[in-house]
Amino acid sequence: MNSNSRIALITGASRGLGKALARQLANEGWTLLLTARGEAALSETATEIGAHYLAGDVADPHHRDRLTKKAHELGGLDLLVNNASSLGPTPLPKLADVYVDELAPLFTTNVFAPLALTQAILPLVRARQGAIITISSDAATEPYEQWGAYGSTKATLDQIANVLGAEEPDIRVWAVEPSDMNTAMLHEALGPAEAAGANPPQRPAAAIAHLIRLRPASGRVRALDFETESAQPHFEQLPTEVRPS
């Protein structure tokens, strides 16, 4: 990557991990293009850290075109972070009770949209030998009850990242499991009391920034495996009871 002018596009950047990672990279001197559906929260975040932003839904092809055009205008792209996702129907249903028709919008948001954005942005990332991150979950690999619908979308996205990494040897493609995080999504899934015991999103955000600096081989990784020793004392330890991120 060009260390003198690093440019990143982060989706789902108005809250949670996306917002935390945007703050982290801004502090490290990155030029940022942020996107999310809620314009008010996105504008507030972008103004706070001095980032460019375009509000919209990455499932919308017209919005993906706008993002690609803006990335061209900024001079290219060193990093794409596919972070935006949906939890799906709540309360989380068991697979026996899932209405199959409800899975279509979930797969559109969590799989088809990031794949389409990756396809559009890929020439820019190739040109700068950059990296693509897709935010995964332990629900993609673990048999958590009632997480089958959401977990299956993340498992699919993992395999897309896995194959893309093999097909694009000149860039890096990482599917990143961020850890259990105290975010609005976990509040919605488990309730505020359980979610409160999870990691603050700033912890995996700092670890992901270190992952980007280290630039290991493409593959599926756990963010917290890339924590620096100096960062660890500033965060609480992972809770004993692991829940999906």
Domains in the chain: boundaries: 7-227
Please give the order of strands across the beta sheet that includes 172-177.
52-53, 31-35, 7-11, 79-82, 131-135, 172-177, 219-222
pLDDT tens readout for residues 5-42: 899 999 999 999 999 999 999 999 999 999 999 999 99
Query: Which fold is adopted by the domain 7-227?
Result: Rossmann fold (3.40.50)
pLDDT tens readout for residues 182-206: 667 766 766 777 767 767 899 999 9
Active site residue 99: no
Catalytic choice (69, 94, 144, 150): 150
Active site residue 150: yes
- Whether residue 242 is predicted with pLDDT greater than 80 in this model: the reply is no
- Whether residue 123 is predicted with pLDDT greater than 50 in this model: the reply is yes
Provide CB contacts within 8 A for 56, sequence distance 6+.
35, 37, 62, 63, 66, 67
